[in-house]
Chains A and B, each alone.
With several copies, the nearest count.
Chain A
Amino acid sequence: MGKKSDVQLIVDGKRTDGRAPEDVRPISMRLDVVSRANGSAEVSFGKTTAVAAVYGPRTLFPRFMQESDTGIIRTRYNMAPFSVVDRKSPGPDRRSTEISKVVRLALEPSIFLEDFPKATIDVYVEIIQADGSTRVTGINAASLALVAAGAPMKDMVTAVSVGKIDDTLIVDLNGTEDQNSQSDVAVAIMPRTDRITLLQMDGVLTKDEVMTVLSFAKENCHKINEQQKKLLLEKYTGE
């Protein structure tokens, strides 16, 4: 990240995988993939696939961790060993520990925690295939799973990655772009109010560039959120 690659990533206006800068990869979303979870979803952006499952609200143990006036949310972001080109040893590492935290903070504002005192909602995100933008894909899956679980929610959370490669702003970075970007930004918002719940930026940008990147991210979050809502609508009204 933050390094301008020698290879050209945009040729004739097309990215390495043939997309235009403003194209998100093909998205697939599926609900109810884990039988015993209260809610679950599998979301793919191209070859990045995340499965999320939500358990709870359920009573929090050990008891001394309970808070009498509010519930809590816990998250675990994990990558399958085979999800990346160089096999990842099983178990949490520093990166997944940090991402577990930012994912939690990205989702938390969307939930009425005070509705389930002494209890926890546990959100598990497994990355099955990683080709860039894994954390935002995981957040999109987790938000769907939360809705499917009937968690008390103020709004959904929708996330996207935006970046700068070859001095061009792009959306939904794939793995190659992620590694060679001049800048890489992950953003999550609650679409109804455009409130930011996640913002992580790497690379080198001027203030103006940052603000442009954020608008671009917001716009794409809204598009993705339409797809999330469509899926949920089908589940609850259709078929």
Chain B
Amino acid sequence: MENYALELIQKGTRIDERKFDQYRNIEIKTGVIGPAEGSARVRIGDTEVIVGVKMNTGTPFSDMPNDGTMMVSAEFTPLASPDFESGPPGEDAIELARLVDRSLRESKCIDFSKLVITPGVKVWSVYIDIHIINHQGNLLDAAGLAAVAALWNAYIPKYENEKIVRGEPAGKLPISFKPITITVGKVGNTLLVDPVLEEESIIDAKMSIAIRDDGKICAMQKQGHGTLEFSDVDKMIDIALKKSEELRGLI
């Protein structure tokens, strides 16, 4: 199967007949999880990810007394793939969560200064949980998209008498940007986006690039076992700039 995917790419086509810079069909549903303050269920082809946003109160970091906080976690549930195992998050789940975290944090997506309840003492903590339901390739782009969609869908609950009143929105979560992560893979001399599972296994190396609404790059990470040339990075950024606009339009 893997050789077949490779053979096709070498011939200039793909296993599902997409163009090299074409994503599978993308479906975004928001507000799908009742108990969460924000949520989104994103499908890219068969790949499916749910992100839930929960708002809790917490203590600010001592060096950021006037900012709310954020925490991104990912569960690669064994339900989603025979390659995932039960147990605490492995390095792939941790890396994915940290990449989503960085794309949100570096892009200043959330306006943390508006998440203060009592300066230095109590702030809102935004918990962003990424739950993988179906792994058919390109998890990071799906997770990034779902995270941003869930945040744009999220509200701050009412806070009265030192308690959160669950289910009663007091306002939207203050969001300024929609950072979009695009992962570009390299197979031989071909660059492609949104690899399916069969393609992921033959990719030499890939670069995940998070792009802000203003076209600025806010996070990058090389992934995969192989290497990249400097000229690859140039072309990959161009692809990411173009595709990020397209995906951002879907949210």
Task: Assess A/B contact in the complex (Cβ within 8 A).
Answer: yes
Interface residues of A (CB under 8 A from B): 1-2, 33-37, 40, 47, 51-53, 55, 76, 78, 80-85, 87, 90-91, 94-95, 97-98, 100-102, 105, 108-109, 122, 124-126, 128-131, 185, 190, 193-207, 210-211, 214-215, 218
By a CB distance below 8 angstroms, the chain A residues around B212 are: 204
Interface residues of B (CB under 8 A from A): 32-36, 39, 46, 48, 50, 52-54, 56, 73, 75, 77-82, 86, 88-89, 91-92, 94-95, 97-98, 102, 105-108, 127, 129, 131, 133-136, 166-167, 207, 212, 215-230, 232-234, 237-238, 241
Q: A82-B129, A197-B227 are in contact. List 5 more A-B contacts (CB 8 A).
A: A82-B50, A90-B73, A194-B229, A199-B233, A211-B230
Q: Is the CB of B79 within 8 A of A124?
A: yes
Q: Is the CB of A87 within 8 A of B56?
A: yes
- The residue from B54, B73, B219, B230 contacting A201, defined by CB atoms under 8 A apart: B219
Q: Is the CB of B94 within 8 A of A97?
A: yes
Distance A100 CA – B36 CA, assembled complex (angstroms): 24
Q: Is the CB of B133 within 8 A of A76?
A: no
Q: Is the CB of B207 within 8 A of A101?
A: no
- Once A81-B54, A94-B98, A98-B91 are accepted as A-B contacts, the answer to whether A196 and B222 lie under 8 Å apart by CB is yes
Q: How far is the CB of B232 from chain A (nearest CB, A)?
A: 8
Query: Which B residue sits closest to A38, measured CB to CB?
Result: B82
Distance A194 CA – B228 CA, assembled complex (angstroms): 9
- The residue from A33, A195, A196, A211 contacting B133, defined by CB atoms under 8 A apart: A33
Query: Which A residue sits closest to B105, measured CB to CB?
Result: A2
- The residue from A40, A80, A129, A205 contacting B217, defined by CB atoms under 8 A apart: A205
Q: 6 closest A-B pairs (Cβ-Cβ)?
A: A82-B52, A195-B227, A124-B79, A201-B220, A87-B54, A2-B106
Query: Which A residue sits closest to B238, measured CB to CB?
Result: A207
Distance A1 CA – B106 CA, assembled complex (angstroms): 7
- Once A205-B217, A207-B237 are accepted as A-B contacts, the answer to whether A34 and B80 lie under 8 Å apart by CB is yes
- Once A94-B98, A207-B241, A211-B234 are accepted as A-B contacts, the answer to whether A51 and B218 lie under 8 Å apart by CB is no
Q: List 18 A-B contacts (CB under 8 A).
A: A80-B52, A81-B127, A82-B35, A82-B53, A84-B35, A85-B166, A90-B89, A94-B94, A94-B98, A97-B95, A190-B227, A195-B228, A198-B222, A199-B221, A201-B219, A205-B216, A207-B215, A207-B237
